[in-house]
Amino acid sequence: MKEKKSFPLQANKPLSRRSLFKGVSAGLVAGGLAGSPVASLAQKAKEKKPGVRKGRINQSVVSWCFSEHWSVEETCEHATKLGCKSIELIDSKHWPVLKKYGLTCAISGIPVDGAPFIKGFNNPEYHGWLIEATKQAIDESADFGCPNVIAFTGFSENFSLEEGAKNCIAGFKKVAKYAEKKGVTVCLEMLNSRDGTDPNKGHPGYQGDHTDYCMDILNAVGSPRVKLLFDIYHVQIMDGDVIRRVGECGDMIGHVHTAGNPGRGELDNKQEINYPPIMRALLKAGYNGFVGQEFIPTRDPVQGLTEAVELCDV
């Protein structure tokens, strides 16, 4: 009697995705199916490129989050590979590099010293230099084709909510006509004041820390060129009810930011915000602006950005 050959299972060698497709391709060729629909599907899956595929959401990369990992050139390279159209909140001196890669800047910062969200429009003592800085950013943005310029209420200091709102309205009205003339939108960002663990994650003392408060200011200004920067991460922390708020803010949303909560990390399953239906709510509201990926990487930034871009590509 001949001895039977045994074929031990290789339990310690899991089949990789690459090995699977190599095996499938070899089997298809051996079986004469290389030109069949099955082979075509296998080849398409193998050749799938990461990043944007549907393109209904215009995506942007927020530069400061990745500046510790990549140079400006590298950030542009990663953005273009993933199908993003913009690098934002980056010094205007770098805009020629963006242009070289066919990218725009979705929203510009303002040329001021220090953190720009501390001294804002709620204090009339700052209006002189702040309005001039905002106008300068509007001019540069108009020349380059950047659609938005960021703005802030500032920290409360000694101003009541009513006084702060009144001062913001007066200040924004002074720049509204100029923004309208230049075709650039000034976007007031709502920031959370709850997270005091890190200055990049929360801003205790910031006055415009609720969506309704910021919307009341914007509605009082009444300009199509002064709108809301709807930061989903900050809104989730302070107000929640994100999808309903997207609908309520509607065409007053001028720009959008993302990040995972808690922690302002990646948009993965370790955080609580469900991004795909929020993106669909933005589309339903008629939003056609940019969504800036503004999370702080806690692991491989390329992987994290790829995941975020694909998640928001609804």
The mean pLDDT values, 10 residues at a time, for the chain of 314 residues are 43 46 46 52 63 98 98 98 99 98 99 95 98 99 99 98 99 99 99 98 98 99 99 99 99 99 98 99 98 99 99 99
**25 and 76 housed in the same domain:** no
Instruction: List helix spans (H) across 31-105.
Output: 37-47, 63-66, 72-81, 95-100
Cα distance between residue 75 and residue 85, in whole Å? 12
Residues 6+ apart with CB under 8 A from 268: 260, 304, 307
**Are 23 and 70 members of one domain?**
no
What CATH number does the domain containing 286 carry? 3.20.20.150
In terms of domains, do 35 and 62 share one?
no
Using alpha carbons, select from 154, 139, 137, 127 the residue that is nearest to residue 88: 137
Residue 175 lies in a domain: yes
Range of the structural domain that residue 32 is part of? 17-47
Catalytic residue among 189, 248, 266, 307: 189
- 88, 140, 294, 310: the active-site residue: 294
Are 100 and 34 part of one and the same domain? no
Sheet holding 185-189, edge to edge: 86-88, 58-62, 290-293, 253-258, 226-231, 185-189, 148-151, 107-108
Residues 89, 224, single domain; the answer is: yes
- Classify residue 5: in a domain, yes or no: no
Q: What is the pTM of this model?
A: 0.85
pLDDT at 21: 42
Same domain flag for 150 and 196: yes
The answer on 271 and 245 residing in a single domain is yes
Rounded Cα distance between 78 and 2, Å, is: 60
pLDDT at 123: 99
Examine residue 239 and state whether it is found in any structural domain, yes or no: yes
125 is catalytic: no
Contact 266, 299 (CB under 8 A): yes
Q: What is the pLDDT of residue 240?
A: 98
Overall number of domains in the chain? 2
Q: Please tell me whether residues 156 and 42 are part of one structural domain.
A: no
Domain membership flag for residue 259: yes
CA angle 192–184–154, rounded 5-degree value: 30
Alpha-carbon gap, residue 224 to 235, rounded angstroms: 22
Give catalytic status of residue 157 as yes or no.
Answer: no
Same domain (yes/no): 32, 111 = no
Same-domain pairing of 40 and 136: no
Place of tokens 């200011």: 217
Q: Are residues 277 and 132 in the same domain?
A: yes
How far, in Å, are 24, 124, 156, 222 from residue 294 at the CA level? Answer: 39, 30, 25, 28
Does 37 share its domain with 132? no
User: 């393109």: which residue's tokens?
Assistant: 55
Q: Is residue 11 domain-resident? A: no
Can you give the pLDDT at residue 109? 98
User: Within a domain: residue 254?
Assistant: yes
